[in-house]
Structure 1
Amino acid sequence: MPPKPTKRRSSDDSAPAPASASAASKKKSRPNSSAPQSGPASASAGVKTAADKKKSIVAPRDEKKAALQRQDDEESDGDEGEGWSDLEAEADEAFEDYEDVDEDGEDGMDVDGEDADKTPAQVAKEARDPAAQRESREKQKELKLLRKAKDPVYPLVQALKKSWEKLRRSDLPAVDRTKLMAEMMSAVTGNVADLIFKHDASRIVQCMVKYGNEKQRLLIANELKGKFVELSRSMYGRFITLRFLKYTTAARPSILAEFRGHVSKNIKHMITSYVLESIYADYCNAKERYHMIQELYHPRFRQFKTDEPLSQLVADGKVDKKQVLYNLKQVIDPVIAKGILGDLTLVQRAVLDYLDLASDEEKTALFEALHPELVAFLHTREGAQIAVRALAHATAKDRKTIVKTFKDYVMKIANEEYGHWVLLEWLATVDDTKLTATSVVKEFDMNQIPESKYFRKVLLFVLVGASSRHFAPVVLDQLIPAGKKDAWKRHCEVLDYASGAIVDATRESLVEWLKDADLGTFVVEVVMRAHLDDAARADIIKNVLVPAIAAGERDATLLRNVKSMVQYHEHWAKNQAKAKVKEGMTEDGHKELSERTRATSALVAKTFVEAAGKELLQALATSEGTFVSLALAEGEATKEAVVPMLREVVDEIEQGESKGAALLAKVVKETKV
């Protein structure tokens, strides 16, 4: 860790008696800025010198660093080699101009020594003098070089920097890079351990790991053997560990082995936790991941692993349930407090394990801490599962708190592979449909329908509910119905709020979307299931769909989706007969939905026949629209009108080469109307 600037005591602070006469005289000669001054000094009494400004900035920075360092030291049981936190790094960046202050407070504006007899006005005047500022900077540079020169590896670092500037260039020829790497390897061999904890030197080693060959990488890795855990606790050194994991397959097993037994201690560390997360997410299989998580259950699993699931271990009495809950809580609480739970799927998995074992009171306490943070981690699979459980367990008051955190992120959540599960759970659970309408549905951006398949899934849930026709079992299994209101009634109320906006967005691009397999399926559900009056639904068919087909649209996907519309109830009824979860949600709801889909299918089919007319129907039957004509000829609501029209061209239908022509001709001949 680089040396920190020494915070000087202000002139007002009380201090212990000086240790020597010289120190006493030095303190006595310092002017008191709080005392009233006469003449020019009085006018300048309120002017802050550069030293005063520096003290006001550096001191809080040091206090923050000290607090964070103490916190990490306590959590790591006194381990050495810790790195700075992210907050420390930001402080270093923001105040890098102040890093070169020497131990005596040297900043070119001394209040002791030659400046001791100067008034604040004189000091302030010199601070504004460009020449004095230049002289101060030069003096600082000299002192900085003198301090660095005391480091034994300083000359080596300076020499390596020149080579590094060439090595890191992307346009460096391969031959030159190979030669340069050989030279740098000969220089760093035996000194790698002295370089890795320095900011600038660690970047050099990272670059060498990136561009070196397998043999060179292994040589560097061997010098660092046994130090990767310590290295990963360093703000600068952790990147070398990540580089080795990425580029050196041969060294990866030994690096992973070094972290075995150190997971529970280091997962709470602001820096090492990200290295452990990378190992867990990118370089472990399912079995190895479970072995890492086991270390959080009980200390015995740091050395002795098992493949039995946690539930079985608890049931068999191999681990104490209370002890496991306590150990998991000791990891979860600090991670939540530091605000890094969203970045650590390993700890998210631990949260799920905790929830599996915890009592209702323990779950409530944990969820209260998580409610403000849900939006930060629901983008991962484990995070989404936690958020779903939080919504199911929450009270009405808690849900209002949660939805406030969602307000500006509804569309971001809806567009995520796992995040949209949380919105599905909201729609399936929250009884306050007005809250759903104003806080969730109102935030939907319908312009994103064509681009986002996950947003379409959310809208499909609004339209059809938990349907096995549109949602995989793995998604439906995540949902936890927890509402008290009648599920069908809740679904209908939400659909009432959302239908208008969904239909308006769909109508504008209906024909184009019907040509796409995924979008076409969505359009079919909008036309058939949105809450519309008969006139509005018929208008879509009569004034949007049929005119496009009459104008020459014969896309195969479009015609297939038109067939799905006119046969909607028939296909839907077959699916529901074998579905485990009925889309009607309740017995009464299922009956109502069945009657509604039957009536809607008949309306759409009749409207299509009336708007198309004999000429268009015959043209479809003798060309690409064979299956549309077949669906109309078999439909109870339309066969009496369609079959006579098609009998006039039955010979042409039989001679047609399109698929289904023979079947259509047979149906037309055999149907009695």
Structure 2
Amino acid sequence: MAVTKRKASATSEAPQKKVKAQKPQEQPSGKKTLFGKAIEAEEYEDEQEELEEQPIRDDDGDNQDAMDIDQAGPQKPKMSSKESNAVKKQLRDQRRAQKPNAEMVMPAKKLWEKLRLKEQPKADRQAIMLEMMGLIQGKVQDIIFKHDMSRIIQTCLKWGNEEQRNIIAGELVGQYLTLSKSMYGRFIVVKILHYCPKYRETIIKEFYGKVRQLIKHKEASEIIEDAYATYANAAQRTALVQEFYGPEFRVFKVDDKKTLSEILEHSPAKKESIMKHLLETLTGCMEKGTIGFSIVHRVLLEYFEHASAKEIQDMLDVMKEQAVEMLHTKEGAQVAMFCLMHATPKDRKAMLKTIKPYVLKICKEEYGHMVMLRLFDVVDDTVLVNKAIVSEIVKEMSDIAKDKFGRRVILYLLAGRSPKYLSPYSIELLAKGDAVRANTSKKDAAVRSSELLNYISPALVSLVATKARSLISEPLACQVVYETLLRATGDKQAAVDALLELAAADPKESTSDEPNPLLQMPTDRFFKSLVQSDYKEPKAEPSLHFGKALLAKISPYLGDYVQQNQSAFIVLALTENPETSEETKKKLAPHKKTIEKLLKGKGEKEMVGTRLVLKNL
């Protein structure tokens, strides 16, 4: 139809900007217009009705293209999928060819696909690296900030030889500061620090003067931390830390002073300025979320060591709820200990709230477990400590008791600062807070310890009663079981009975799956110590009378036990225990000749336990 064709022709052109609709010009009376053509009124109404009856189509554009082709000339044949893809590939290659370094990028990507394969033979990888270096050498600075080429450079640093790595690192000298701030370039800096020891000093020196800004930068802060914690030597770490002290130290490094204490001792007048800059910089680190870095922990520790009470409180207000994020480093754990020591009861409550979800992890941290000990020392609200901390320890007590560091948390509640379980350094570190605790805590230390022990004792006794075998088979957990029986409060009979039940087994029936505890290390020593606790320090309070109960269980097998070197020491302890000495010797009398025959021909250093038992008989 004529009307349809005119409409299609009008819409076939490219879309134009919308133009404000204008009122149609008046036509002579009796005439109307349709698409700019004057028609009679009756013809106009017929055309309108015909247009309204046509359905709206979704493919008007396709129909329009077909009409345009009909009007323009013969239609081109439709391309196959293969031909269409070929055209697209050609257009894509043309676009890539227009980009900078196009003649190098595409071949480098093809080589990279082979180079990054882990199963690539060494000889083939070396050949690929030689070809790759021929492409990128001299152009590294031009391509490092692109994501795809950054990956290629990282792979070259990983698989290249020392000479090739140093060539790449050498081309980037002067760019490391910029690279560290780049989302992709920072990974190249990490790789060069790792694979190119020759350039570590060069990279670190490029950071001098900018550390205070870089530590707050999202990407660069990780490079600074990596350089400080992993690759810098002592002098370089000191130089990086000094930039936190103020503008003077960013320009002039104090080489002969390694710590803030030494600097302040030499120049006391600088203390106010240094503390001010430390507070400003560290506050910025808290706001930017870089509190987890070890370099920040060291600076924080120096700040707390030299800050006044007001300066400490200013810092606590900023970081009290973030202290839990720094317990994985030595300095960070000490900072958290400072926070707990100087905090108000309200601040301590806030800190306990943040610590609660991570109690298990903190207890098993090499340095973090010391924070738990400080917490037990200073928090007066033992009810809160029980609900927030002790209850979480109880949930994972078996796991914590077997851990190298976790068991110290439980043992501290049982035995306090015993040199048997804590190093002299740890005891000294804890003792440093006693003077401050006297001013910040009101409850007597002995009362606080007693209340905490009362809270955890029932759970410890229950643990030993239900998991005695698994606990005493672990050397570290044995210490927890031993101290529980000696020092836990309340009724401990259930735990004692569980241990006696294990010892009552016939030694001849011992198997690898269920070994007799008196024939195995470390449980043989554990049982010997329990027998000695009846008459030798440290004594159980009240006495367990363990020797007497044990003798009643193992008396049928005394002859077997005395002939085994491990268990002979348990029998020896029974002969020395005033409660069991006489009865034990009486039961061993029939076995005396057997023991003498067993020791005949043995050296003096062989079967020492058996030899000592015989001597007591």
Calculate the TM-score normalised by the size of structure 2: 0.77
Deviation at 1:558, TM superposition (A): 1.8
Does the C-alpha gap of structure 1 residues 140 and 490 become closer, same or farther in structure 2, counting only changes over 3 Å? farther
Give the corresponding residue for 2:309.
Answer: 360
Contact 1:623–1:656 (CA under 8 A) maintained in structure 2: no
Q: Does the alignment pair 1:502 with 2:460?
A: yes
3-state SS of 1:304 partner: coil
Maintained 8 Å contact 2:363/2:400: no
Residues 573-618 of structure 1 show CA distances to partners (whole Å, capped at 9, x for unaligned) of 5xxxxxxxxxxxxxxxxxxxx6xx26425x22222223333x3334
Partner Cα separation in structure 1 for residue 109 and residue 536 of structure 2: 71
1:559 aligns with 524
Matching of residue 233 in structure 1 with residue 181 in structure 2? yes
Partner of residue 275 from structure 2, selected from 309, 325, 333:
325
Q: Does 1:519 align with 2:474?
A: no
Q: 1:652 aligns with which of 586, 589, 594?
A: 594
Give, in angstroms, the shift of residue 451 of structure 1: 5.1
Matched residue type, 1:506: V
Shift of 1:637: 3.3
Q: C-alpha offsets along residues 181-209 of structure 1, whole Å, 9 cap, x if unaligned?
A: 11221111221111111111111111111
2: CA distance between counterparts of 1:448 and 1:535? 23
Residue 265 of structure 2 corresponds to 315
Equivalent pair of 2:531/2:547 in contact (CA under 8 Å): yes
Corresponding residue SS for 2:553: helix
What residue is the counterpart of 1:466 in the other structure?
A: 417
> How far apart in 1 are the matches of 2:287 and 2:59?
47
TM-superposed deviation, 1:502 = 2.1
Aligned residue type for 1:555: Q
Amino acid at match of 2:284: P
Deviation for aligned residue 1:511: 3.2
Indicate the larger mover: 507-516 or 279-288.
507-516
- Classify 1:543/1:172 alpha carbon distance in 2 versus 1 (closer, same or farther; 3 Å): closer
Change in 2 beyond 3 A, CA 1:497/1:163: same
Change over 3 Å in CA distance of 1:140–1:246 after alignment to 2: same
> What is the rounded CA distance, in whole Å, between the counterparts of 1:458 and 1:548 in structure 2?
36
Asked if 1 retains the 8 angstrom alpha-carbon contact of 2:462 and 2:495, the reply is: no
User: Which residue pairs with 2:397 in the alignment?
Assistant: 446
The worse-fitting range, judged by mean Cα deviation, of 273-282 and 389-398 is 389-398
Shift of 1:569: 6.6
How far off its partner does 1:212 sit? 1.2
Matched, 1:620 2:561: yes
After superposition, the CA RMSD in angstroms is: 3.3
The one of 139, 160, 184 aligned to 1:191: 139
Deviations along 1:106-129, whole A, 9 cap, x unmatched?
A: xxxxxxxxxxxxxxxx9x9999xx
User: How is 1:106-505 mapped onto 2 (pairs within 5 angstroms)?
Assistant: 151-302=99-250, 303-308=252-257, 309-317=259-267, 320-342=270-292, 344-444=293-393, 445-449=396-400, 452-479=403-430, 480-481=433-434, 482=437, 483-505=441-463
Equivalent residues of 2:506, 2:557 under 8 A apart: no
Paired with 2:221 and 2:381, the residues of 1 have a C-alpha distance of 40
AA in 2 matched with 1:242: V
Partner of 2:552: 610
C-alpha separation in 1, matches of 2:59 and 2:451: 73
Deviation, structure 1 residue 643 = 3.3
Deviation at 1:414, TM superposition (A): 1.6
**Rounded Cα–Cα distance in structure 1 between residues aligned with 2:377 and 2:232:** 35
- Alpha carbons 2:402, 2:471 under 8 Å: kept: no
Secondary structure class of the residue paired with 2:429: coil
Q: Match for 1:600 among 539, 543, 547?
A: 543
The answer (yes or no) to whether the contact 1:510–1:545 under 8 Å persists in 2 is: no
CA 1:279–1:652: 2 relative to 1, 3 Å? same
Letter in 2 for 1:328: L
Which has the bigger relative contact order, CA under 8 A and spacing at least 6? Answer: 1
**Residues 215 and 224, structure 2, Cα contact 8 Å, conserved in 1:** yes
Distance 2:234 2:524 in 1: 45
Distance 1:556 1:200, change over 3 A: closer
What do residues 256-275 of structure 1 show as CA deviations (whole Å, max 9, x unaligned)? Answer: 33233432332222211111
Q: 1:140 to 1:234 in 2, by over 3 A?
A: farther
1:339-363, CA deviations, whole angstroms, 9 ceiling, x for partnerless residues? 1211x11011101111111111111
- C-alpha separation between the residues in 1 aligned to 2:377 and 2:504? 36
Structure 1 residue 533 corresponds to structure 2 residue 491: yes
Aligned residues: 521
SS at match of 2:272: helix
Q: CA deviation at 1:315?
A: 2.3
SS at structure 2 position matched to 1:250: helix
Q: Aligned partners of 1:517, 1:180: CA distance in 2, in Å? A: 53
Cα distance in structure 2, aligned partners of 1:337 and 1:163: 44
Match of 1:81 in 2: none
**AA in 1 matched with 2:263:** L
SS of 1:416's equivalent?
coil
Cα 1:254–1:570 shift into 2, 3 Å: farther
Give the letter for the 1:420 counterpart: H
Q: Is the 8 A contact 2:575 2:616 kept in 1?
A: yes
CA 1:145–1:461 in 2, change beyond 3 Å: closer, same or farther? farther
Identity rate of aligned residues, in percent?
35
Question: Which digits, 9 at most, give the CA deviation of each residue in 1:461-512, with x for residues without a partner?
Answer: 2221221111112323333342432222222221222122222223333234
SS in 1 for 2:229: helix
Letter in 2 for 1:465: G
Aligned match of 1:112: none
Post-superposition Cα deviations, 1:119-160, rounded to whole Å, max 9, x if no partner, equal xxx9x9999xxx9xxxxxxx9999998886654224432332
Counterpart CA distance in 1 for 2:279 and 2:98 is 46
Aligned partners of 2:167, 2:275: CA distance in 1, in Å? 43
Write the distance in 1 (CA, Å) between the matches of 2:492 and 2:598: 36
Question: Quick one: which amino acid aligns to residue 620 of structure 1?
Answer: Y
C-alpha offsets along residues 613-662 of structure 1, whole Å, 9 cap, x if unaligned?
3x333442343422112212222333243333334434434444422223
How big is the shift at 1:235? 1.1
Give the match for residue 43 of structure 2: none
Q: Which has the larger radius of gyration?
A: 2
Residue 368 of structure 1 aligns with an amino acid whose one-letter code is: D
Q: Which amino acid aligns with 2:594?
A: E
- TM (norm. structure 1) is 0.71
State the one-letter code of the partner of 1:413.
I
Matched residues in 2 for 1:334 and 1:626: separation? 65
Equivalent-residue separation in structure 2 for 1:466 and 1:547 (angstroms):
37
Q: Are 2:603 and 1:662 aligned?
A: no
Q: Partner of 2:608: helix, strand, or coil?
A: coil
Q: CA distance change for structure 1 residues 409 and 512 in 2, over 3 Å: closer, same or farther?
A: closer
Residue in structure 1 matched with residue 575 of structure 2 by the alignment:
633
| Contact 1:388/1:478 (<8 A) preserved | no
Where do 5+ consecutive residues of structure 2 fail to align?
1-15, 22-55, 66-86, 511-515, 600-606
